[in-house]
Amino acid sequence: MFRSEIRKMLLEAAEKIIPEGEAVPGFSVEVPESLEHGDYASNIALALAKVLKKPPMEVAGLLVEQLTTYDQQLTTKIEIATPGFINFSIKDKFLFRELENVLKVPDEWGKSDEGNGKTVVVEYFQLNIAKRPHVGHLRSAVIGDAIKRMLLSQGYNAVSDTHVGDWGTQFGILLLAYKEVYGGKPMGELGDPFDVFEKLYIEENERIEKDPSRRERAKEEFAKMERGDPENREIWEWMVDVSMKKLEESAVRLNLLPFDEHRGESAYEEVMPKIVELALEKSIAKKTTDGAIVVDLIAEKLDEAVLIKSDGASTYLLRDLATIQYRKGKYDFFRNLYVVDIRQSHHFKQVFRVAELLGFGGVGESEHVEFGFMTSPEGAFSTRKGTAISLDAVLDEAHGKAFAVIKEKNPNLGNAEKVAGVVGLGALKYFDLSHHRKSDVVFRWEDALSFEGNTGPYIQYTHARLKSILRKVDGSLGPDFEVAGKPEPDELEHELLVSLLRLPEVIEDALKDFTPNTLANYLFLFAQRVNEFYHSHPVLKEPDQIKLSFRKDLVRASAITIKNALGLLGIDAPEEM
């Protein structure tokens, strides 16, 4: 796109003015805050000033001299601004050419083959067995799903894995409570299993707080299950079965892309002992006096990484090592991403370092895509304390509020129920995705389900408004779009056209640091420009047929851009609201 072309121009110009053997320093090509500064701006002159030992404005002048031939090809003007920025304005004929491409193949707009041949594994929505999903799980689900969608759009082979938490001490806590309360009562006669699980888990944790010795009994129950105890295995398998059904149901309600892997931690049960043996053979791990097996990373300020606890039970860390080994063997991944909250940062530093020592892949191949914690105004959500809001309840509330607003604003809408589902879910997802993933998010009903300002419904309504305009305009130029027959765009039309054509660059930026909010923020600013355009440029009242055709194509391309960008965030764009 235009940014990469400008960057290429600047690199070639810089290489002509720097001393031989010197490397061009890092520089940026960005979108200026003000339209008067052009369509793109670069700080390359400021970066080169230190190398050339000349004032930035003088360096900028030298660069602009080298850019003369390019000026005749791509840009209508190149200007210098203090303290040394170089501003570029793109010629309309090149904007028209790209607009034509958008209109000809709308479903392909924003896609590329940049990642062709590269596999990226993305782990997200890691629900724990025997716990119904709550609103705190929303972040991992929607961030991970958006990352997968963006990767697929750029040609990557994106593989998703839920990596279900179905192993560990928490199951010992549930087993201890279940066996004491229900004994041999048939599992199918207990009603809603999640009501049972949550009540047992909350009450048993309360008992453990009063009597800490019960935690040791719970650990023993899990250790028995890990050793193959038939009774514990049967109860656990039932919990896994009903929980997996709930996970798949929740994924459908959230409109997540289908998962490629549903492997739980237990899937690695048989290979974990071999990894421990390998770690001991290579002297990477050692056995402590109490029987635990650890990797000493103290010198690297990563503490001791525990593979096997003193009671013989495996750890999350060991199971994650087995997961990396499996994924590397099956997919030979280019990148292996973990969309997990920031509290696990230390854990993943240990995992990646031990994996490197074992030869399972370098630290750079696996990455913790951490996100901030979602809380309520009262504090953290906790299943153990009974303060979690179920995901089902949030989705039901979102649908209900969206339906009420739609019936008030558009009582004659024929498919109000369906649209309400799309809008309500869009509000929830966008609320999360509009925040930087590293930010902590406070969940308030009034914020998450708002329909005004920087929200999903605002952007969805902008799309619906564009589609309404197009339905009222007779005919469609589509592939008959002719550059030569277009009028010279005014300032706002030019700005809108440049803005919509930046979509591929925005996707590139969002994938650079795996930040879906980059795309969400672009969408909001773009929707604002679109609203300004159709309020100040009444398409339906335009008497000049050449201008009418151009504005209609601009509306069509804007609608395509919003729809495709929302789709990358996992949000649908209704044609009516």
Q: Which two tokens stand for residue 442?
A: 């406070």
Percentage above 90 pLDDT, the chain: 70
83-103 residue pLDDT tens: 999 999 999 999 999 999 999
Dist. CA 220–CA 161, nearest whole Å: 30
Band of pLDDT at residue 476, cut at 50, 70 and 90: very low
pLDDT reading at 368 higher than 90: yes
**Residue 246 confidence (pLDDT) above 50:** yes
Q: Give the sign of the dihedral formed by CA 459, CA 506, CA 519, CA 566.
A: positive
**pTM summary value:** 0.92
* C-alpha torsion angle, residues 50, 55, 61, 67 (rounded to 10): 10
Q: What is the pLDDT of residue 112?
A: 97
* Distance from C-alpha of 239 to C-alpha of 243, rounded to nearest angstrom: 6
For the ranges 78-87, 349-358, 393-402, 484-493, which has the lowest average pLDDT?
Answer: 484-493
Q: Which residue has the higher pLDDT, 381 or 274?
A: 274
Band of residue 1 on the pLDDT scale cut at 50, 70, 90: confident
What pLDDT is recorded for position 383?
58
Question: Residues near 278 by Cβ (< 8 Å), separated by ≥ 6?
Answer: 284, 358
CA–CA separation, 165 and 263 (whole Å):
9
What pLDDT, on a 0 to 100 scale, did the predictor assign at position 223?
Answer: 87
Quickly state the pLDDT bin for 445 (edges 50, 70, 90): confident
Question: Which class for 321: exposed (0-12), middle (13-18), buried (19 or more C-beta within 10 A)?
Answer: buried
| Superfamily name and number for 119-376 | HUPs (3.40.50.620)
Helix axes 213-226, 169-181, angle to 10 degrees: 100
pLDDT, tens digit (0-9, with 9 covering 90-100), for 269-322 = 899 999 999 999 999 999 999 999 999 999 999 999 999 999 888 899 999 999
Burial 84-103 (b: 16+ CB within 10 A, else e): bbbbbbbebebbbebbbebb
Structure-token pair, residue 247: 């996970």
Q: Are 495 and 534 in contact (CB under 8 A)?
A: no
Q: Once rounded to an integer, what is the mean pLDDT over residues 331-348?
A: 96
pLDDT at 464 over 80: yes
- Token pair for residue 103? 């209109």
pLDDT at residue 540 above 70? yes
In degrees, to the nearest 5, what angle opens at C-alpha 434 toward C-alphas 431 and 437?
Answer: 105
Rounded to whole angstroms, how far apart are CA atoms 577 and 574? 7
CA distance 251 to 145: 10
Closest CA to 114 of 82, 153, 143, 76: 153
| More confident site: 266 or 423 | 423
Domain edges within the chain: 2-90, 119-376, 392-568
Vertex 342: Cα angle to 245 and 305 (nearest 5): 90
The DSSP secondary-structure symbol of 34 reads: S
Give the best-scoring range by mean pLDDT among 202-216, 436-450, 463-477: 202-216
Helix (H, G, I), strand (E, B) or coil at 543: coil
Identity of residue 148 = K
What pLDDT sits at residue 284? 97
CB atoms < 10 A from the CB of 19, how many? Answer: 7
Mean pLDDT is highest, among 367-371, 402-406, 483-487, for 367-371
Q: Can you name the CATH fold of 2-90? A: Gyrase A; domain 2 (3.30.1360)
Find, among 525, 529, 401, the residue nearest to 466 by Cα.
Answer: 529
Closest by CA position to 398, among listed 521, 255, 297, 224: 255
Mean pLDDT across the chain, nearest whole number? 91
DSSP state of 388: P
Evaluate if residue 136 carries a pLDDT over 70.
yes
Most confident range (mean pLDDT) of 214-223, 238-247, 260-269, 297-306 is 297-306
Residue 479: pLDDT above 50? no
Which pLDDT belongs to residue 101? 94
Please answer whether residues 427 and 457 qualify as being in contact, where contact means their C-beta atoms are separated by less than 8 angstroms. Answer: yes
Say if residue 184's pLDDT is above 90. no
At residue 426, the pLDDT reads 96
**Which has more pLDDT, 132 or 352?**
352
pLDDT category at 386 given cuts 50, 70, 90 is low
User: C-alpha distances in angstroms, 549 versus 101, 489, 553, 555?
Assistant: 16, 12, 6, 10
* pLDDT recorded at residue 475: 52
Q: What separation in angstroms does the CA of 454 have from each of 70, 116, 466, 561?
A: 38, 34, 18, 17
Domain 392-568 matching CATH 2.60.40.10: the answer reads: no
